[in-house]
Amino acid sequence: MLDINWIKANPEAFDRALSGRKSVPFRSAELIALDDQRRMVIASVEEAQAKRNTLSKQIGQAKAQKDEAKAQALLEEVAHLKDVVQNGEAARKDAEDKLRNALSIIPNLPLEDVPVGDDESDNVEYFGPNGSPETAAKSRPAKPTFSFAPREHFETGEALGMMDFEVAAKLSGSRFVVLKSQLARLERAIGQFMLDLHVDEHGYTEVLPPLLVRDDALYGTNQLPKFEEDLFFVPHGDGRLALIPTAEVPLTNMVRESILSAEQLPMRLTALTPCFRSEAGSAGRDTRGMLRQHQFNKVEMVAITAPEKSGDEHEKMVSDAEDVLKRLGIHYRVMTLSTGDMGFGAQKTYDLEAWLPGQDTYREISSVSVCGDFQARRMDARFRDTDGKVRHVHTLNGSGVAVGRALIAVMENYQQEDGSVAIPDVLQPYMKGLKTIGARS
Binding site for RNA (CB under 7 A): 39, 42-43, 46, 49-50, 52-57, 59-61, 63-64, 75, 78-79, 81-82, 85-86, 93, 237-239, 382, 390
Q: Which residues have C-beta within 8 Å of that of residue 376, sequence separation ≥ 6?
A: 382, 392, 393, 394, 395
In the complex, the smallest distance separating the C-beta of residue 394 from RNA, rounded to whole angstroms, is: 16
Nearer to RNA by Cβ, of 67 and 196: the residue is 67
- Widest CA span in the chain: 104
Nearer to RNA by Cβ, of 350 and 383: the residue is 383
Nearer to RNA by Cβ, of 75 and 142: the residue is 75
In the complex, the smallest distance separating the C-beta of residue 383 from RNA, rounded to whole angstroms, is: 11
In the complex, the smallest distance separating the C-beta of residue 250 from RNA, rounded to whole angstroms, is: 15
DSSP strands (E only) in 306-431:
332-336, 348-356, 361-370, 381-384, 390-392, 394-402, 421-422
Nearer to RNA by Cβ, of 312 and 380: the residue is 380
Continuous H helices in 224-371: 248-253, 310-328
In the complex, the smallest distance separating the C-beta of residue 265 from RNA, rounded to whole angstroms, is: 17
Nearer to RNA by Cβ, of 32 and 422: the residue is 32
Q: How far is CA 335 from its chain centroid?
A: 18
Altogether, the residues listed in the chain come to a count of 441
> How many C-beta atoms surround the C-beta of residue 311 within 10 A?
18
In the complex, the smallest distance separating the C-beta of residue 264 from RNA, rounded to whole angstroms, is: 13
In the complex, the smallest distance separating the C-beta of residue 237 from RNA, rounded to whole angstroms, is: 4
Dist. CA 100–CA 377, nearest whole Å: 11
> How many C-beta atoms surround the C-beta of residue 312 within 10 A?
12
In the complex, the smallest distance separating the C-beta of residue 185 from RNA, rounded to whole angstroms, is: 22
Dist. CA 392–CA 385, nearest whole Å: 10
Dist. CA 291–CA 365, nearest whole Å: 10
Q: Which residues have C-beta within 8 Å of that of residue 387, sequence separation ≥ 6?
A: none
Using the 8-state DSSP alphabet, how is residue 79 labeled? H
Q: Residue 87 is which amino acid?
A: N
Dist. CA 383–CA 273, nearest whole Å: 28
Using the 8-state DSSP alphabet, how is residue 207 labeled? -
355 has which bridge partners?
Answer: 362
Nearer to RNA by Cβ, of 331 and 382: the residue is 382
In the complex, the smallest distance separating the C-beta of residue 64 from RNA, rounded to whole angstroms, is: 7
Nearer to RNA by Cβ, of 46 and 120: the residue is 46
Comparing CA positions, the residue from 438, 272, 300 lying closest to residue 366 is 300
In the complex, the smallest distance separating the C-beta of residue 105 from RNA, rounded to whole angstroms, is: 20
Peptide bond into 357 cis (omega under 30): no
Nearer to RNA by Cβ, of 81 and 434: the residue is 81
Nearer to RNA by Cβ, of 30 and 68: the residue is 68
